Structure formats: C-alpha cells, structure tokens
Chains A and B, each alone.
Chain A
Amino acid sequence: MNRWEDEATLPTLDMRAADYVERRDSGSWTEKDEAELEAWLTESVAHRVSFLRLNSSWRRTERLVALRSPDNGPDASPDSHRGTRYLKIAAVFGMFLGLGGFLITYFTTPRVETYSTPVGGREILTLKDGSRIELNTNTSVRVALSSKKTRGDSRKGRSLFRSPP
C-alpha cells in the first residue's frame, strides 16, 4: 500500500514538494507560506521525506552560480549585470575611438619617400596624386604625400615638380 495516497501518485507529491522547495528559497516566501508548508509536512511522513530529499538536492545546485559569467548573462536584467554591460559598451566604444584615431593618423600623416637618381641618370616620376617630378642627374628629392597635399623638397641636384593636371 502506498502511504501517500492523498496525493494520488509519487510524481504529483514530488511536484508539490518541489514547488515548496523552490518558493521557500525565493524572496517571496511569507510567514503564511511557512505555516502552510508546516501543515503539509506534518500531514504525512511521505510529504516530509519527499520534501527533505528534494530540498537536499536543491541546495546542492547552489553551486551552479559558479557557471555564471559575464558572457552568458541573460540579456535583460538582473541589475548586477548592468554594470558589466555598460563596461562592455564602453569598451567597444573605446575600441572604435582607438581605431578611428589610428585611421585618421594613418591617412593624414604624410608618408615621406625619397627618390634619387645616380650620376648620369634621369627619371620622370608620376606620383599617386598625379603630380610629376622630373629628376635630373645626381638628384635627390624627398616627397611627403598626404591625402590633402603633396610636398616635395629638393635635397640636391635639380628637379622639376609639376602639379596634377
């Protein structure tokens, strides 16, 4: 004979006990709930052993908190996650700022290149921006090419600069 007949079946009894276990461990548990649980537990030993058994394994699941990491946090709430989320947003924002800064510097800082001809040599260069430089023999020029302007300095010899057509 089963001794938990009032609950019909063991699964039904266990479901009810599990419900008490979980609610008792939440913030919404009241004095009234405790009284109700007490009445239920004293009703039969079957209720009590079921509750004890589920409560004991429930407490073991306490360790599951260790699985919580900022990466697997639920998207909405809880509050404790909000801080790290803002931090993340800030980090991404900062990354973009850094990348932007780099790109701006990269494109605005002129790249300096030196072209030269040996004695007896003669060279006509076409630069990226379309300007042309004619280098006479034994000549050296430094060209600073940025997105906005091109600067050329004659280091030695003779050269002819022509702006883009």
Chain B
Amino acid sequence: MDRKSDYRSAVVAPLPGAAKGTAVSAVDDWFEREILPLEASLMQYLERNWRNPSDIPDFRQDIYVRIYEAAQKEIPEHAGKFLLTTARNFLINKAKQARIIPIQTAGNLEEFDAATDMPGPERVVQGREELRHLQAALDQLPPRAREAIVLRRVHGLTRSEIARRMGINEVSVSRYLSRAICALADVLHGEPSNIRRRP
C-alpha cells in the first residue's frame, strides 16, 4: 500500500537540516538516543527538587534546550551525568532568581548520584510490555482525543476520513491528534506512570 511505504520513508528520513552537515543529525540522534530515554529520571529529579509542579514542563524544555545547544559544540561523553548536572545548575539558578535560599537544591547531591543510576535507557520496554504500556497511555487520554488517535494510528485513517467518522472538521481533528501526541509523549517519556503521579 502506498500510504504504508510513504510512512516508512518518513520515519527513516533524517530531519530537515541534516542535509547541511552531519552535525545536526548527529546531535539529533544523540539527543534522541541518550537524553530522551532519561526523561523519567529528569522529571523525577525536578519534581523532587522544585516545589511548584506547574513549572516543571517548562523547566524540562529549558534544560533540553541547554543540553542540545551544548551538544552542538561537543557531544558530552556521559549523557546521564551531563543531563543531571545541567538540571541541577538550572534549578540552582532558578532558586537564586526566585530568591529561594537553595538549601533544598544544594543538599541533594546524593540524590543526584542515585538519580544517575536510575533506570534510564534500559527502562525502554519491549514487545508486549510496550504495547500494554501504550494501551495504558491511550486510556489516560480524553475520549475524543483517544478516538482520533486510535483511528489515525491503529486503523491508519487520514485526517479527512477521521473528520467524517467523528462528524467534526479537519481542524478539530488535527487539534485532537496534536493534543493526543503531546499527552502520549508525556506518558511514554515519563514512564513509569506511578512515578509521574505525585502524592
């Protein structure tokens, strides 16, 4: 089927910008391979060391930007250590800006070490377990977003087909799909979910 082959090539193709030099795609690869699998550890670290949970997604993004920019100059040897050092420095700066005496942050060096040993890439589960994980992630989505993403990903329908089936316009479909993609990223990168949920 045409759709299938298009989709394969899209997945394998390097991101735009890669053609200009190997550097961009090398950093992209490194970021995806070494940093993203550590997201659960990073989130856990941030949650433990920052009081306001609503800041955390923004912090994560800022830390990723710093990491990526640093890697453009030189790819760090130890991704895990580099990520956590960056995260710690970031929090210390934030604490200073917020005029919080960074006792809390500075006193957590041990946790750092513990966090570096946190299950990272090895947490990437395989096969059936991965599928179960995905299903659990789907279950956490709002019903309409879930319906849209299931039609798209499980049944391979196009946006216009989904719009017809759900009785909504394509703009709404793309909004549901985008929302689902963001939510799934949070669940999938932030696994396991019992760590994500704060008491």
Contact = CB atoms under 8 A, between A and B. Distances in A.
Interface of A: 2-4, 10-11, 13-16, 18-19, 21-29, 34-35, 37-38, 41-42, 45-46, 48-68, 72-74, 76-78, 80
A18 B65 contact: no
Contact of B178 (A22, A25, A65): A22
Interface residues of B, number: 54
Given A59-B11, A76-B165, A49 B61 contact: yes
A25 B10 contact: yes
Residue among A14, A65, A80 with max Cβ neighbours from chain B (10 Å):
A14
A54 B182 contact: yes
Contacts of B86: none
Residue among A4, A23, A64 with max Cβ neighbours from chain B (10 Å):
A64
A26 B189 contact: no
Interface stretch (B43-51, B106-114, B128-136): B128-136
Contacts of B6: 26-27, 29
B68 interface: yes
Contacts of A67: 131, 135, 150, 154
Contacts of B155: 68, 73-74, 78
A13 to B, nearest CB: 8
Interface of B: 1-3, 6-7, 10-11, 15-17, 28, 31-32, 36, 39, 57-58, 61-62, 64-65, 68-69, 72, 130-131, 134-135, 138, 149-159, 161, 164-165, 174-175, 177-179, 181-182, 184-185, 188-189
B131 A58 contact: no
Secondary structure at the B interface, as helix, strand, loop or mixed, is helix
Secondary structure at the A interface, as helix, strand, loop or mixed, is helix
Contacts of B17: 38, 41-42, 48
A26 B15 contact: no
B5 to A, nearest CB: 10
B154 A64 contact: yes
Contacts of B157: 74, 77-78
3 nearest interchain CB pairs?
Answer: A38-B16, A18-B178, A18-B181
Contact of B154 (A13, A16, A65): A65
B11 A25 contact: yes
A56 B189 CA distance: 9
